[in-house]
Structure 1
Amino acid sequence: MASRPLDEKTVTTLVAEATAAPSMHNAQPWRFHYRTDERVVLLYADPRRAMPRSDPDNRALHIGCGAALLNLRVAAAHADLVPETTLLPEPDDPLLLAAVHLADPVGGVRDEDLARLHPAIRQRHTSRHPFAEKDIPEDVRAALQDAAVQEGAALLFPGPWHAETVLDLVHDAESRDLMDPGANEDLVRWTRLGPEADTAVDGVPEYAFGPRKRNGKAPVRDFAGRRPVADRGTTAFEYTPHLALLSTRGEGPAEWLRAGQALERVLLEATLADLATSLTSHALEEPELRLLARDPASGTGQVQMVLRLGYGPRGPATPRRPVRDVLEIT
């Protein structure tokens, strides 16, 4: 017997929750196409939202789309559906990143491991605020590492020397940007200042910049740069930031999509554990820098994202494009 078609409201809700995912500069580089007869959601990259200066190989674009894919899978599981997922289903169409068949569960059993993450989708926000100088319990770290493993990635909590190396790479990237007038083209394009921040549907609005860093070592990118932002204070950040490095075995579009799914699964787990999170790939925009960031002991894996974790404000919600702008139903 053929599966019953899903109603448009259900599909719209699933895609709305998918688009709550993080993406570089909140560019939201995705499109969705739902084929009603097949009960398949197709996830496409949107090249109009690519960043040629800071993401020339579209690595970050794929990671953002992978995060949206994980959210779609979580939302489907919550709706008692089975998201049967195929990455890169059409080799001749590089913009088609994934196909998700929304099947009925066998015997009425849903994927509880995915479904339990659902409340965190709307609670997760990037925080560019200071975190407390407080340790993260070992059982929480283990749960985050397990979340990455379930999506084919690895999460490493670097030791003090390794963490200092990563922080140095981040600071070096910031210094290079100051010396290159064109380096911040993508950042300027995707930040929203003044009245535009109140009406934007994408990008990083000024109310999400967080305070300027007076001191401390937390790797928090200043989205304002040298541009003035009204009513923005300055404060101290943590001197011992808790960093985690998300890595995959290899490089390329499939690995980047896996990294994005692993990243979002880790972020949702962290949110359920009452952790605040922020991300930086500033020091990973060049392949040779990703090699320098990896575990010096094993020397293996490709670092795809640096996470900052801790206890503090979760940060405000950032805007999202209306679902009608990213979803086609046929």
Structure 2
Amino acid sequence: MGLKNILKPTKKKLIFFVGFLFIGMIFLFSGGKEVRTVKISPVPADSVQVKKHLVALTQTPQFRNHKNIDQLDTVADYIHQTFMTYADSTAFQEYTVNGQVYKNVICSFGTGNSKRIIIGAHYDVCGDQQGADDNATGVTALLELARVLQNQKLKYRVDLVAYTLEEPPYFRTENMGSYVHAKYLKDNNINVYGMASVEMIGYFKDEKGSQDFPIGALSWIYGDKGDFITLVKKFSGAGPFVGNFIDHFKDSNQIKAETFPAPKFVGGVDYSDHLNYWKFNFPALMITDTSFFRNKNYHKSTDTLETLDIKRMTKVIDAIFLSIIHLK
């Protein structure tokens, strides 16, 4: 996820956002809570496999940042080999930045379907650190999704995409792997139903005061415990895919989940690869544990495997899988 850069809203935007909060609170507190049944996944995510992938991604001789090309290539090969075990097709999408070749890794399921969905996560890190939550968790989700998607009957083609160069110094540039991929889809008129960015899904806290927000009043709606996954979408015009995906994610009842329909001026809402799909007018959302608003290890050497909640992370993967196979 890119650099923290919280924006101070103008007076007009603040008034608008207060209205947004008011509407949200009415929605939250009106009526009783619906009792939901936990959906059973036909192929549950495996916490043993999840930990195996997390170890492979984080316990490396060098840090997987933009300077360590050999390490990035080794990680890309690991992702590629895992994808090849399960997918209908697997490929590298290579491109050059400052004379160096970088690679997205792509695998596909349900290739007989014309319309597709993209599930993406970046495998590079910011600086010299493991990047366990940011974003080994997202890439691990892709790897485990590849296993559970094998032999599933799908209504859409599903492309799992592991991106390079999401982090600084390339964040918000055309050198981001997700920009390269989204532009390819647009340039080739590929029929995309929507995209979901899996960005940090492994850090949870149940203590009061463990959850921060870009605007403090949001705690009135979402609480102050870091015990949920957030589904971030555009405030308006998100598109049918986004609503459909969110409905199924929540209906799976695998893990506590909150929807955040965010105005663009709120800091953090576009700090991942979905921003490039928004640029090319593809419907997209972000699945996240809220990053630095909860995880204070963000972009630090303390973002390690030991800080993750693998059990809850595995349930997030189940929810993504159930959303994919039940999409309308």
TM-score tier by shorter-chain length is under 0.3
Q: What's the TM-score, normalizing by structure 1?
A: 0.28
Q: What's the TM-score, normalizing by structure 2?
A: 0.28
